[in-house]
A and B are shown apart, each in its own frame.
Chain A
Amino acid sequence: MKFIDEFRDKGLVRDLVRRLGHLATGPATIMEVCGTHTMAAARFGLKSLLPSQVNLVSGPGCPVCVTAQEDLDGFLALGKEPGVILASFGDMLRVPGTATSLEKERAAGAMVKVVYSPLDAVDLARQATGKQVVFFGVGFETTMPATAMAVQLAAAEKLPNFSVFCVHKTMPGALRALLAAGEVRVSGLLCPGHVTTIIGASAYDFIPRDFRIPCAVTGFEPLDLLLGIESILHQISQGQARVDNVYPRAVQVQANPRAQALLTEVFAAGDAKWRGLGVIPGSGVAIREKYQQFDARTRYAAALAQVPPPPPSACRCGEVLRGVMRPRECPLFDQACSPAHPLGPCMVSSEGACAAVYRYERG
Chain B
Amino acid sequence: MCLAIPMRIVEIEGVIGVADVDGVTRKVRLDLLPEVYLGDYVLVHAGLAIARVDAGEAEETLSLLRKLADEVY
Contacts and interface: CB of A to CB of B under 8 A. Distances in A.
B38 interface: no
A276 to B, nearest CB: 17
A198 B45 CA distance: 12
A146 interface: yes
Contact of B61 (A4, A18, A220, A248): A248
B45 A6 contact: no
A116 B69 contact: no
Contacts of B48: 117, 119, 145-146, 149
Contacts of B65: 12, 16, 223, 227
A358 to B, nearest CB: 18
A220 to B, nearest CB: 7
Interface string B4-32: 11101000000000000110000001011
B71 to A, nearest CB: 7
Contacts of B6: 1-4
A34 B3 CA distance: 10
Interface in A188-208: 192-195, 197-198
- What is the predominant secondary structure among interface residues of chain A facing chain B? helix
Interface residues of B, number: 40
B68 A91 contact: no
A22 B73 CA distance: 8
A195 B54 CA distance: 17
A262 interface: yes
A227 B46 contact: no
Interface residues of A, number: 57
A230 interface: yes
- What is the predominant secondary structure among interface residues of chain B facing chain A? mixed
Given A15-B72, A36-B1, A249 B46 contact: no
A92 to B, nearest CB: 10
B1 A143 contact: yes
A197 B3 CA distance: 12
B69 A19 contact: yes
A149 B31 contact: yes
A61 B66 CA distance: 30
Interface string A105-121: 00000000000111110
A189 B39 CA distance: 34
B45 A146 contact: yes
A16 B68 CA distance: 7
A116 B46 contact: yes
A59 interface: no
A140 interface: yes
A259 B32 contact: yes
A7 B63 CA distance: 11
A142 interface: yes
A63 B46 CA distance: 14
B3 to A, nearest CB: 5
A300 interface: no
Contacts of B51: 194, 197, 250-251, 256
Contacts of A61: 2
A351 B66 CA distance: 30
Contacts of B73: 19, 22
A61 B2 CA distance: 9
Nearest to A3: B6
Given A22-B73, A230-B68, 13 more contacts: A1-B6, A2-B6, A6-B58, A6-B62, A19-B73, A22-B72, A35-B2, A61-B2, A145-B50, A149-B31, A193-B2, A197-B43, A197-B50
The 8 A-B pairs of least Cβ separation, nearest first, read A117-B47, A15-B69, A197-B51, A249-B58, A146-B46, A249-B57, A3-B6, A117-B46
Interface of B: 1-6, 8, 21-22, 29, 31-34, 41, 43, 45-48, 50-55, 57-58, 60-62, 64-66, 68-73
9 contacts: A18-B72, A36-B2, A91-B1, A118-B47, A119-B46, A145-B32, A247-B61, A250-B51, A262-B32
